[in-house]
Structure 1
Amino acid sequence: MTEGLECPICKNAHSNNENEAAEDCFVSTAKGHVFHYTCLQRWVDEGKTQCPNCTESLGRNTVLRLIGVQSATPRRVSLHQEAFNSQLKDKSLNNPKTDTSLYDLPCVTAKIVALGDAGVGKSSLIRRFMNETFEDRYNATIGCDMNVKTIEVAGKLVQLHLWETAGQERFRSVVTNYVRNADGILLVYDVTCQNSIRSIDRWIAFAKDYGPPDSIKVLIGNKFDQKERCIISKRKGKELADRLEMPFFETSAKSSLNVEVVFRTLAAEILLSPEIQERNREEKMARSFSISQPEGKHHKSNKGFNCC
């Protein structure tokens, strides 16, 4: 099983038969629920047409292969590339969607902020997700950088605003401005650096002090590809995540392990949060109300404007 990710189907139904458990590529449903390809195929072959985790129907254009989510036995992937049955046949399992109908879907925005010590790989994770690239050379983020990527989740286009933040103490006052109104927060540590996981509690406190109480938080142990240098076990990361009551993934920005899963899972959780959606609606209404006010109520003169 891929580190940090478990297929609910084979874990619950096939845990006693490892040969049958599908150690192949992972796929995601429209709502971001992740399963082994062959486990979900078996599920549908048994006549079950709803997602094992919810009531969402499994039909065309609802299942996507997760690129970069590796399996324990990659050689088996080629053995399971036949299309699903007629309900799931879709070339999107192997290729990104290009259907122009996507532009007709409702679109929502989600602000995601990555927090963690300097050098843990926050920027590398975002860069890998954005354009599938990785740079070995470390370049510290100065202040904050923002990237935008749109994905489809649960029949909606989700425009992710991804904020890379500096981990150095001297930029902390700058970072506070960007944590406000965050819908999702990635708390990242380096599995090769003990101090980085010790700092997570401090970053949690920082997020609670300056971020919304309803933001979705995910704990990430990055640089999993450096197994020979790893000093923080998966068990320790999982114990911390359980204590903090948040999902946990081990990732590698270098190999792309679990990177796409993290962002798709976070996007799905944000969509499913009524508190976040209500907060975003209120903020949008407040902005619209402010813009629609008569000009005289905001300016002493209707000639020109100030840029600051």
Structure 2
Amino acid sequence: MQDTTTPATPPHRGRLALAALATATLLGGCTGLDTRTGSGPALEQATLPAYVSGERYYYDNGRTERVSSTSGDRVIWKDDRGIRLTRSRNPVYPELERKAKSSHTERRVDGIDNGELWPLAGGRSTDFVSDKTRTDKRTGLVKSKRRYWICRVDGTETIQVRMGTFDTWRVTCERVHRKKAQKNKLRTWYYAPEVGHYVLTTYGQKYDPKPYRRIELTGIRPPTEALGVDSKARKREYASFQKALEKAATGETVTWKDRESGVVVRTTPTATMQTGDGRYCRTYRQEVSPNPGNRVYPGIACRSDDGRWRIPRG
């Protein structure tokens, strides 16, 4: 996919203005800034994310996850396959529980302490032991594994993914094999404070020359239901989202407000692109008020054959 360099006029559609993606401006002289690591951007220390019930997260590996509920440090997610997931608010820790139709997986984590790693700052680290138990509901077979992990904050890095460019904290977790170092595995998380979530994660074996696998976040939709917006109003908000991507110029904001709840959603397209097969895609940012998660909701959406703009999952 490449940025278009001339104004695009899709068949039977309004003209889409084009512009390059805006890079976040860093303010100098702010208090609480962590020192730069290498050539990475200067970022404030990042606190634990505040996930909100109803938020929906889309990834390019085909997965969609919705925040079902939150309680203290625990977040309950449900994915598009109906699997129920329990995780820590710290996204770099492994899943604590996974309930699927055919299996039930639980993890007991010794040494889990968000105070060691968060707020994210250069040089912070933690280590923990994970005991995993998986029960096959069909056969009753139980398998157990123990894993040793070391996580550290490597520094900061500006990351470009399909939905935009983000300043991130880079957190690397190494799964240590007690006997064979060549079997050590690495997973790196690129956490964007303005998004309140990671925008990219890579993983693979530490000493394997093969390229690491990547999973990109392709979009987040705001939690309008949890903010008191009823089903009819949510359909109108979705129509406003579609209108913004279809008709608004790059940088132009389309504002939608629900009179009953007072919720306001602002959608701003930030760039327009065309894929090799001729499809049009647009990156965007959404802001919601009130904003309990204190985050922006970015994403990329592509126009499908039926004229709808959808967040890609592949």
Please confirm whether the aligned pair reaches a TM-score higher than 0.5, indicating the same fold.
no
* TM-score between both structures, scaled by the size of structure 2: 0.26
Give the number of the structure whose residues are more often strand, by fraction.
2
* TM-score between both structures, scaled by the size of structure 1: 0.26
Give the number of the structure whose residues are more often helix, by fraction.
1
